[in-house]
Amino acid sequence: MTNNEIGTPGGLVPSATKAAESGPEWVTEGTDYDAILLAGFGGPEGQDDVIPFLRNVTRGRGIPEERLEEVAHHYRHFGGVSPINEHNRELKAALEAELARREIDLPVIWGNRNWDPYMADAVREAADRGFTKLIAVATSAYSSYSSCRQYREDFAMALDDTDLRDRVQIDKVRQFFDHPGFVQPFIDGVRDALVKAQTEIEGIDLGTEIQVLFSTHSIPSTDAARSGPEARGFDGDGAYAAQHRAVAEVVMAAAEAALELPSDTTVPWQLVFQSRSGPPSMPWLEPDINDAIHALNGGPTKAVVIVPLGFVSDHMEVMWDLDNEALESCEEEGFWAVRTPTPGIDPNYVTGLVDLVLERRDGVPAADRPHLTDLGPWYDVCRPGCCENVRLGFKPAVSGLVP
């Protein structure tokens, strides 16, 4: 069996480097990578781009045009421009600056799933520049089909579309939901929000009168159930929800410690979901953030802190679903409210992403890898059957054992 064959579970990892091709959970053999592949979701950059972009996002799902028009309204509210591409340009520049500061010679090449520059363009650019060993950093921290496996499918399709499967190898850094570099910006944000509430709401009791809502993108319940390896024994919401809850616990503990709250004071919080797009007949993860906000009516809550825990930057779901709809829900209920920042190009986050690349370059043992929850460090090579899309089945994907 060659490295490029799609084999059976336990076989070689397709299109992987020598260190990763046998499929260890954590790769402890160093690899001299040629470049970093920054993998993004992509977004429209003008009014004429909106519908073609949404067709790209929903291809193969049978979403009617009228539904696309409803979602297009969100983008058109902001001039048809999603901030996500500009954020990725900023992140690319920040990564390059951090690499230069450390005198690490690794170019950063950026490719998207749904808009220009596309992943195939990035892979082709890499090959044209003589780069054949790529380490991918996807702009998504958690385990699910859309946030991990689909990126791995994107890499496989890009290699096929460019006829470069026999020349270019792509590994991927581990899911970084509990890496300190990703988590610290959320700790800082929650701490600052709680201080702001204390300053602006006289006599507020943080133990009863404030609610911290950790928000992430909802996904179909069937996809959630299949997120993460089955052998880990997660509940019906899978690794996706478990990872978010674990990180939220870390964030709250750290923020409470920073404020030196009394030992018997625990700030109330919950995990909520947003941005569902499926038909009403299909179960998605709940509660919706707006439903959760309205449910606080009649209780002791005076203030709400909204934490975009599932997002790495302020893209459309943050700007519309949180800054617009969720804050409006808070206003309707008379709650003081604030939304905390996403990591963006926070120095902790940028430094952490470079550290994740160096883990693989240097073959750092799992025991020496930083992680803030008991769920980590997550796997370098995705396990067989991880993060299946029930509706689409298993498509070829690199950076993991098949299927």
User: 232 with 243: CB under 8 angstroms?
Assistant: no
* Fold match flag (1-43+82-175+345-403 vs 180-339): yes
Q: What per-residue confidence (pLDDT) applies to 65? A: 80
pLDDT band per the 50, 70, 90 thresholds, residue 70: confident
User: 210 with 302: CB under 8 angstroms?
Assistant: yes
- Residues 362-392 pLDDT 10s: 999 999 999 999 999 999 999 999 999 998 8
pLDDT band per the 50, 70, 90 thresholds, residue 2: very low
Section 101-124 average pLDDT: 97
CATH node for 1-43+82-175+345-403: 3.40.50.1400
Q: What per-residue confidence (pLDDT) applies to 141? A: 98
Domain boundaries, the chain: 1-43+82-175+345-403, 180-339
Q: What per-residue confidence (pLDDT) applies to 333? A: 98
The pLDDT of residue 61 is above 80: no
Any residues with CB less than 8 A from the CB of 387 and at least 6 apart, and which? 143, 144, 145, 148, 149, 223, 226, 227, 228
The pLDDT of residue 62 is above 80: no
The pLDDT of residue 4 is above 50: no
CATH class of 180-339: alpha beta
Which of 59-63, 112-116, 345-349, 395-399 bottoms out in mean pLDDT, i.e. has the lowest? 59-63
Q: What per-residue confidence (pLDDT) applies to 10? A: 54
Which of 9-23, 146-160, 227-241 bottoms out in mean pLDDT, i.e. has the lowest? 9-23
User: 243 with 237: CB under 8 angstroms?
Assistant: no
Section 140-157 average pLDDT: 97
Q: Whole-prediction pTM value?
A: 0.95
Section 251-270 average pLDDT: 95
SS (H, E, C) the chain: CCCCCCCCCCCCCCCCCCCCCCCCCCCCCCCCCCEEEEEECCCCECHHHHHHHHHHHHCCCCCCHHHHHHHHHHHHHCCCECCHHHHHHHHHHHHHHHHHHCCCCCCEEEEECCCCCEHHHHHHHHHHCCCCEEEEEECCCCCCHHHHHHHHHHHHHHHHHCCCCCCCEEEECCCCCCCHHHHHHHHHHHHHHHHHHHHHCCCCCCCCCEEEEEEEECCEHHHHHCCCCHHHCCCCCHHHHHHHHHHHHHHHHHHHHHCCCCCCCCCCEEEEEECCCCCCCCCECCCEHHHHHHHCCCCCCCEEEEECCCCCCCCHHHHHHHHHHHHHHHHHHCCEEEECCCCCCCHHHHHHHHHHHHHHHHCCCHHHCCCCCCCCCCCCCECCCCCCCCCCCCCCCCCECCC
- Residues 185-216 pLDDT 10s: 999 999 999 999 999 999 999 999 999 999 99
